[in-house]
A and B are shown apart, each in its own frame.
Chain A
Amino acid sequence: MSATSGATSDLRGVLVPRAGILGRLTDRRARTLAQIGLGVVALAVVVVAATLVAPSADATNLLARRQPPSLAHPFGTDWLGRDVLARTLVGLRLSLGIATLAASISAVVALALGAAAGALGRRVDAAVSWLIDLNLSLPHLVLMILIAFAAGRGARGLIIAVALTHWPTLTRVLRGEARRVSASDYVAVSERLGKSGWWVARRHLVRHLVPQFSVGLVLLFPHAILHEAGLSFLGFGLSPDAPAIGNILSEAMRYLPAGDWWLALLPGVALLSVVLAVDMVGGNLRALLDPRSVHE
């Protein structure tokens, strides 16, 4: 509703709801949802495409070695004549799979520890805080390498390594939220209406933690993916024959001085794009779950 006649006051923020497609496009929440959808679709495309091209990722063709990008091979070919695009897609799918698992485990650990720290009293809180400090005081990469090594390397070691090093930050956030809820007046009221601790956790705590948990989970992905790539690059991740992005990049290093730029740059950009897609989903999800987002 725009100003009535004779209006001289400011019409700040006049967003007259426009009907139809144009209205939808300028609608901020619609944009948020669209971006989430876009991100999810992009990731799905990567996974599907990887499944489709999987065979050609390993197909060597010694007659077409180290070819720069062309129509037939958009990302070029590597030193064994393998299509780099196909390898990249398969590698990304692998990374996404590992990252999903690792991030999920990390998030669940963070939820358990954060909720416990916030709701189970000072001693549990102190113990969890000590664990967090311990974890954060050790250099991230070194810790991951050690864990990956100890857990037997390969995919399993990688997942465990990433899972065990990424929970602290989210735990802190969830702990803060859990503490706030536990100390609130409304929880005190519930207790004095006769509700048990479990009831309070189920009906109050969960509802306050789920939004942060969901956003935290999604935002752990980029870290997980990048660290997995990093570990593989350093040789502590997946075995060299698996086309993990990290492996692809590490091998490509050898050929860089020779001028085969596409071996490293294009897979690197692809990795970055996937990370950005995940970040877009996570960021928009957070905006959506922010209670202030009800205002346009």
Chain B
Amino acid sequence: MNLLEVEGFSLSFLQYEAGLRRRRLDVITDLDLDVEAGELVAVVGSSGSGKSLLAHALLGVLPSNAIEGGRITYDGQPLDLARREALRGREIALVPQSVAFLDPVTRVGPQAERAAVLAGVGEPPAAVKAAFRRLDLPEETVRRYPHELSGGMARRVLTATATIGAPRLVVADEPTPGLHPEVVTETLQGLRRTADQGAGVVLITHDLLRALEVADRIAVFYAGTTVEVAPVEVFTGDGTELRHPYTRALWGALPEHGFVPLAGAQPPPTDLPPGCLFAPRCPIAVDDCRAARPALRRVDRWKVRCIRA
């Protein structure tokens, strides 16, 4: 059974333009995602595709003028705002993007202990030891200050602190922005280990290739909607097994695979095309594509939103 199930999720904001005029931003229109316990699902897509907003939604930290639609289910029960706030930091945790979240003037051990207390964990010192051990950090790390740690260790401490309450669902929002390859490896391995220990992990990233190293499945977002969710095995070779044209374009754009730049840009939330959101740029679009938004088709756990797939 799925730990987390997001179905047809939509998110809009009302924004003031000049004076009293308002416009509606449909930042997410039709998002689907599911995660099982022990599974790591990577969410890839360009900036503005809705990845981070989904993370904020799951944590219940959206701005107050957000309008939601669709369904989010956690552990079989609906995940409404009250439940999100209750589970935040305990069963559902966020690994933040930057090590700047660590207090520079406190040793990391006490910081992690404080997180444990906030998460309602019994015996914080023991929990900290366990969490650090889970992430392969040497025991004496607890006595270090953040600046004394290497980049990779600091990120693992961040992950450990965020997951100290032994959360069942971990959301990592762009945990490796522009970092050096070795540090990225350490961070991703830490997340993989977290999944292997039974948590469901959502890894939000734009770095598709690195995500393949640790993910079980890849969810591809485009302009606020899910276009494909595929098993990691099909991301190989020429990418011919990939179903959605956008996923194929992503694959082909990688420097390793031809460096092919697909023309055009993602449509802004104020100006979404009437039919398939990818149609304006799609190499295989036909009239039917432009007429109506395609529905998400499911075969097992593989999902594609394309009538030509």
The short answer to whether A and B are in direct contact, CB under 8 Å, is yes
The answer on a CB contact under 8 Å between B8 and A12 is no
A9 contact set on B, CB distance < 8 A: 9, 68-72, 78-80
| B14 lies within 8 A of chain A by Cβ | yes
Which of B58-66, B120-128, B224-232 participates in binding chain A? B58-66
Which of B15-23, B38-46, B88-96 participates in binding chain A? B15-23
B68 contact set on A, CB distance < 8 A: 3, 7, 9-12
Known contacts A9-B79, A15-B14, A17-B22; decide if A295 and B70 are in contact (CB<8 Å). Answer: no
Which of A26-34, A71-79, A134-142 participates in binding chain B? A26-34
- Residue interface bits A235-279, CB-to-B below 8 A is 1, else 0: 000000000000000000000000000000000000000000000
Say how far B83's CB is from chain A's closest CB, in angstroms: 8
The answer on a CB contact under 8 Å between B78 and A15 is no
Contact size range, A: 20 to 34
Q: Could you say which of A2, A3, A24 has the most chain B C-beta atoms within 10 Å of its C-beta?
A: A3
Q: Could you say which of A2, A10, A29 has the most chain B C-beta atoms within 10 Å of its C-beta?
A: A10
The answer on a CB contact under 8 Å between A296 and B22 is yes
Which B residue sits closest to A4, measured CB to CB? B69
Pick from A1, A4, A295: contact of B15, CB below 8 A.
A295
The answer on a CB contact under 8 Å between A3 and B69 is yes
A7 contact set on B, CB distance < 8 A: 68-71
Known contacts A3-B69, A30-B20, A296-B22; decide if A8 and B63 are in contact (CB<8 Å). Answer: no
The answer on a CB contact under 8 Å between B12 and A1 is yes
A6 vs B72: C-alpha distance when bound (angstroms) = 11
A10 vs B71: C-alpha distance when bound (angstroms) = 9
B149 contact set on A, CB distance < 8 A: none
The answer on a CB contact under 8 Å between A27 and B15 is no
B8 contact set on A, CB distance < 8 A: 4
Pick from B9, B10, B63, B81: contact of A295, CB below 8 A.
B63
The answer on a CB contact under 8 Å between A12 and B66 is yes
Say how far B159's CB is from chain A's closest CB, in angstroms: 28
| B24 lies within 8 A of chain A by Cβ | yes
The answer on a CB contact under 8 Å between A10 and B16 is no
The answer on a CB contact under 8 Å between A15 and B16 is no
Considering only residues 13-39 of chain A, those with a C-beta below 8 Å from chain B are: 13-15, 17, 24, 27, 29-30, 33
Known contacts A30-B20, A33-B20, A295-B63; decide if A8 and B80 are in contact (CB<8 Å). Answer: yes
Contact size range, B: 20 to 34
The answer on a CB contact under 8 Å between B20 and A10 is no
| B82 lies within 8 A of chain A by Cβ | yes
A12 vs B72: C-alpha distance when bound (angstroms) = 14
Pick from B12, B65, B81: contact of A10, CB below 8 A.
B81
| A293 lies within 8 A of chain B by Cβ | yes
Specify the main secondary structure of chain B where it touches its partner. strand
Known contacts A9-B72, A9-B79, A17-B22; decide if A1 and B67 are in contact (CB<8 Å). Answer: yes
A293 vs B14: C-alpha distance when bound (angstroms) = 11
Which B residue sits closest to A11, measured CB to CB? B68
The answer on a CB contact under 8 Å between A294 and B70 is no
B15 contact set on A, CB distance < 8 A: 294-296
Known contacts A3-B68, A13-B64, A296-B22; decide if A8 and B73 are in contact (CB<8 Å). Answer: yes
A7 vs B72: C-alpha distance when bound (angstroms) = 9
A2 contact set on B, CB distance < 8 A: 67, 69
| B13 lies within 8 A of chain A by Cβ | yes
Which A residue sits closest to B68, measured CB to CB? A9
B70 contact set on A, CB distance < 8 A: 3-4, 7, 9
- Residue interface bits B14-36, CB-to-A below 8 A is 1, else 0: 11100010101000000000000
B20 contact set on A, CB distance < 8 A: 24, 27, 29-30, 33
A-to-B contact residues, CB < 8 Å: 1-4, 6-15, 17, 24, 27, 29-30, 33, 293-296
Closest CB pairs A-B (n = 3) = A8-B78, A10-B81, A10-B80
15 further A-B pairs in the complex, CB-CB below 8 A; given A9-B80, A30-B20, A295-B14? A1-B67, A4-B8, A6-B71, A7-B70, A8-B80, A9-B70, A9-B78, A10-B68, A10-B82, A12-B68, A17-B22, A293-B16, A295-B15, A295-B64, A296-B16
B-to-A contact residues, CB < 8 Å: 8-10, 12-16, 20, 22, 24, 62-73, 78-82, 84
25 sample A-B contacts, Cβ–Cβ < 8 Å, listed by A number: A2-B67, A3-B68, A3-B69, A3-B70, A4-B8, A4-B69, A7-B71, A8-B78, A9-B70, A9-B71, A9-B78, A10-B80, A10-B81, A10-B82, A11-B67, A12-B64, A12-B66, A12-B68, A12-B81, A15-B14, A17-B22, A30-B20, A293-B16, A295-B14, A296-B15
